């Protein structure tokens, strides 16, 4: 082994993944074929520029790979055309306003969105979310955008795999630009894609008859050379592999199962009288409102971690703290990739129920302050038993990206 230390840490991570229950909605387990492409000699090549127009020579095969990846991206998604602290970089350059959900239902309040848009007159309306368990009304948002003269962009990072499999509403009919990451429900490598309209614009009052969309040059220039340099060709190759897989009947069945598993998990939690934002889900995630229990998401996340259940704390509407929010977000893509079905997610729901009961017991005994609560996590027999049960359960399922038999740490 060239580097025993790194090798050993990778083997530990393999064990963590294979013996744990991965419920972070933005994570997935990619295939062995994708992992092979990520570890290929494609990583050796510089390829600044575009196919057929590179700064460096020797890119004849890289060009073919990138063009193949682009064509598969169009095919998988069924669309082809020739006052506060500034946290993100976009807030430095652009003024933005949020729209909100209805405080009673948890659904997007489209009427309020329209009122705000007509008052603010934005140049761009963005839809898409990381913790919204319902489909988006793209037609309604398009109507709002047209009324105020705005462009419409959808960030479908979380649901792109569902969109590709026709298991979620399709944003392409209504949006000017669609963006996505590729490692979530699409089950690819860590990368991104940008789709944009090309060609003649549809007829519109006050618009020249020969008007065409002008996104291509602007977006391409923004990516390179404005923001990025040498592409990661091993990731482009791996993405091409993932996109081919996403066109298969097996992937469509996978995406359908992702939704079914999320519904099954949500129904199980609600059968235990737990509160879910919007009262359920239509996609790959549920947002669990812990406030009726007097708990915070960071406590539940920490306890679940100790039991090899990976969830993430998440704000719910009305929260004032991102560090100690009132909810946790739970997703089904990763464990569905390991072959779990509805009955298995009901068992996961039972594990989560046990985790909540342990959390409540510790908080009652040690107090609500995090420093006091943490004392109750040490040498806790209930957590240790839950962890043992979780590892036994999870260890009975295969991993798509590596062989369990070849692992260094099997127990």
**Spatial separation of the C-alpha atoms in residues 182 and 318, rounded to whole Å:** 31
For 116-198, strand residue ranges (E) read 124-127, 151-155, 177-181, 192-196
243, 73 Cβ separation under 8 angstroms? yes
**Which residues on neighbouring strands pair with residue 44, listed in sequence order?**
none
Marked catalytic residue, from 11, 27, 48, 63: 48
Q: Helix 342-366 vs helix 381-394: angle between axes, to the nearest 10 degrees? A: 170
Question: Quick one: 364 exposed, middle or buried, by C-beta within 10 A (0-12, 13-18, 19+)?
Answer: exposed
Q: Is 272 considered catalytic here?
A: no
Gap between the Cα atoms of 299 and 383, Å rounded: 13
**CA gap 218, 177 in Å, rounded:** 12
Catalytic residue among 76, 181, 310, 359: 181
Q: Is 408 noted as a catalytic residue in this protein?
A: no
Identify whether 86 is a catalytic site residue: no
Among all chains, which residue has been given the structure tokens 């406590």?
299
**Exactly one of 66, 114, 155, 176 is catalytic; which is it?**
155
How far is Cα of residue 23 from the mean position of the Cα atoms in its chain? 11
d(CA 233, CA 62): 7
Q: Other C-beta atoms within 10 Å of 317: how many?
A: 16
Q: How far apart are CA 131 and CA 330, in angstroms?
A: 9
Q: How far apart are CA 190 and CA 357, in angstroms?
A: 36
Residue 155: phi, psi to the nearest 5? -100, 100
Q: Which of 14, 142, 184, 313 is catalytic?
A: 184
Query: Could you give the C-alpha distances from 108 to 103, 295, 334, in angstroms and in order?
Result: 9, 25, 27
Q: How far apart are CA 65 and CA 72, in angstroms?
A: 11
Catalytic residue among 11, 27, 46, 342: 46
46 a catalytic residue: yes
| Among 70, 116, 190, 291, the one annotated catalytic | 190
66 neighbors 239 (Cβ within 8 angstroms): no
Q: How far apart are CA 387 and CA 350, in angstroms?
A: 13
Active site residues: 46, 48, 155, 181, 184, 190
């Amino acid at each position: 082994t060239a580097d025993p230390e790194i090798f050993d840490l990778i083997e530990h991570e393999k064990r963590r993944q294979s013996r744990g229950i991965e419920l972070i909605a933005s994570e997935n387990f990619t295939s062995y074929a994708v992992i092979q492409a990520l570890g290929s000699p494609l990583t050796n090549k510089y390829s600044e520029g575009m196919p057929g127009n590179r700064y460096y020579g020797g890119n004849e095969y890289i060009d073919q790979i990138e063009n193949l990846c682009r064509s598969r991206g169009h095919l998988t998604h069924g669309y082809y055309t020739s006052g506060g602290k500034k946290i993100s970089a976009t807030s430095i350059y652009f003024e933005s306003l949020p729209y909100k959900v209805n405080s009673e239902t948890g659904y997007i309040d489209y009427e309020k969105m329209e009122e705000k848009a007509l008052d603010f007159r934005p140049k761009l309306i963005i839809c898409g979310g990381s913790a919204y368990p319902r489909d988006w009304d793209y037609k309604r948002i398009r109507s709002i955008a047209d009324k105020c003269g705005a462009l419409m962009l959808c960030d479908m990072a979380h649901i792109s795999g569902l969109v590709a499999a026709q298991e979620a509403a399709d944003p392409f009919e209504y949006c000017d630009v669609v963006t996505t990451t590729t490692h979530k429900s699409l089950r690819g490598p860590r990368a991104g894609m940008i789709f944009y309209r090309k060609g003649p614009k549809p007829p519109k009052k006050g618009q020249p008859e020969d008007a065409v969309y002008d996104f291509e040059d602007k977006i391409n220039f923004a990516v390179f050379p404005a923001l990025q340099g040498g592409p990661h060709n091993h990731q482009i190759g791996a993405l091409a592999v993932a996109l081919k897989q996403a066109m298969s009947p097996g992937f469509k069945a996978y995406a359908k199962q992702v939704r079914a598993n999320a519904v099954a998990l949500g129904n199980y939690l609600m059968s235990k009288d737990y509160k879910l934002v919007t009262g359920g889900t239509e996609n790959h995630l549920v947002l669990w409102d812990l406030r009726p229990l007097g708990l915070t998401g960071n406590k539940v996340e920490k306890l679940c971690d100790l039991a090899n259940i990976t969830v993430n704390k998440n704000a719910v509407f009305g929260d004032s703290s991102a560090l100690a929010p009132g909810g946790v977000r739970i997703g089904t893509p990763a464990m569905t990739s390991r072959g779990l079905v509805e009955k298995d997610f009901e068992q996961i729901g039972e594990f989560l129920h046990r985790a909540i009961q342990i959390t409540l017991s510790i908080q009652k005994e040690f107090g609500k302050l995090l420093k006091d609560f943490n004392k109750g996590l040490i040498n806790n027999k209930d957590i240790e038993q839950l962890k043992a049960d979780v590892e036994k359960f999870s260890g009975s399922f295969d991993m798509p990206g590596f062989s369990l038999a070849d692992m260094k740490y099997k127990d």
